[in-house]
């Protein structure tokens, strides 16, 4: 049940022309949760107002707007509970993230971090450009039924508008210095501010091991569009309880419940 999972980190250090190439091989130990992607949610409007509870909550998303019907009729939806014995992906993935500046924006449902210069990855020969990173607390994906404190979605889009999302789970543990500038920017979005995070490489936010589960799913927010390629990292990152609280103090409970796996197979995408 062990598939080799390979993600290549190719971090380019801006200004020096120095490139680093590291090959990271992941190996299945336990199952990891999948991460759903969240595109920028629709804002405002008499129809299409959605939330995470009550009459406009996830059970009713498909009824709220004609464009949201996939939320209730889709059969390849996200998030999912990843079976604990699921294999890791063997698809070649390259991260070409560079040192960049970012801007944080509160969408009303989460806080997104947008890059101010293009950041790219390549999955199975297809290049995707980073759109934004945002969080859910607690996690949306579960692994073997286990939920995590938070889940981060690194959303990427190809020239053909296909989406690939890297999902990162977070557990409570040690203070995470790499994440500090990002988490500091989250509460700073209150009051309509859009703080910048400067000199950040997205790769620094990822765990050392990039072994991941892959599956074909959907956005986890309306309109719940399918055809999203999910790469859920098996290894969670650690954040301190204070860092987690900083996230939750701005948005919490913004997690869609898991959806049925149906006939999808983990790490066998493009079926
Ligand atoms: Zn999301």
Of 2, 109, 136, 156, which one is the catalytic site residue? 109
**Closest to 206 (Cα-Cα) out of 180, 176, 237:** 237
Fold assignment, 5-42+50-248:
Carbonic Anhydrase II (3.10.200)
Alpha carbon of 255 to ligand 1 centroid (Å): 8
Alpha carbon of 189 to ligand 1 centroid (Å): 18
Reported as a pLDDT band with limits 50, 70 and 90, residue 228 is very high
CA distance 12 to 4: 25
Alpha carbon of 131 to ligand 1 centroid (Å): 12
18-26 vs 81-82, strand pairing mode:
unpaired
Helix and strand numbers, DSSP H then E, in the chain? 4, 15
- 91-141 confidence digits (pLDDT tens): 889 999 999 999 999 999 999 999 999 999 999 999 999 999 999 999 999
Whether 136 is a known active-site residue: answer: no
Q: What is the DSSP letter of 41?
A: P
111-115 vs 126-136, strand pairing mode:
antiparallel
| Token code pair at residue 262 | 């149906």
Average pLDDT, the chain: 87
Q: What is the DSSP letter of 11?
A: E
Q: What is the DSSP letter of 189?
A: G
**Closest to 155 (Cα-Cα) out of 237, 12, 5, 36:** 36
Task: Tell me the average pLDDT across 31-38.
Answer: 37
Alpha carbon of 16 to ligand 1 centroid (Å): 34
pLDDT at site 231:
98
CA distance 202 to 249: 23
Beta bridge partners of 214: 231
- 39-58 confidence digits (pLDDT tens): 444 444 446 799 999 999 99
């Amino acid at each position: 049940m062990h598939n080799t999972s390979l993600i290549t980190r190719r971090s380019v250090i801006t200004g020096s022309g120095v490139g680093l190439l590291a090959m990271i091989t992941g190996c299945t130990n336990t199952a990891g949760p999948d991460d759903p992607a969240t595109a920028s949610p629709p804002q405002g409007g008499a129809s299409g107002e959605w939330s995470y509870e009550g009459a406009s909550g996830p059970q009713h998303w498909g009824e709220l707007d004609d464009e949201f019907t996939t939320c209730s009729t889709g059969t390849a939806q996200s998030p999912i509970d990843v079976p604990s014995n699921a294999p890791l992906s063997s698809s070649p993935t390259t991260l070409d993230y560079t040192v960049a500046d970012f801007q944080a924006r509160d969408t009303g449902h989460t806080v997104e971090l947008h890059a101010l210069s293009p950041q790219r990855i390549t999955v199975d020969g297809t290049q995707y450009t980073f759109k934004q990173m945002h969080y859910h607390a607690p996690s949306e994906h579960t692994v073997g039924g286990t939920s995590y404190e938070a889940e981060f979605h690194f959303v990427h889009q190809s020239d053909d508008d296909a989406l690939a999302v890297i999902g990162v789970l977070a557990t409570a543990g040690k203070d995470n210095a790499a994440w500090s500038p990002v988490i500091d920017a989250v509460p700073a979005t209150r009051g309509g501010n859009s703080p910048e995070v400067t000199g950040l490489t997205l790769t620094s936010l990822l765990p050392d091991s990039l072994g991941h589960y892959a599956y074909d799913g959907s956005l986890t927010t309306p309109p719940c569009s399918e055809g999203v390629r999910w790469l859920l990292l098996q290894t969670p990152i650690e954040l301190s309880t204070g860092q987690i609280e900083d996230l939750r103090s701005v948005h919490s409970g913004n997690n869609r419940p898991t959806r049925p796996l149906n006939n999808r197979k983990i790490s066998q995408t493009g079926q």
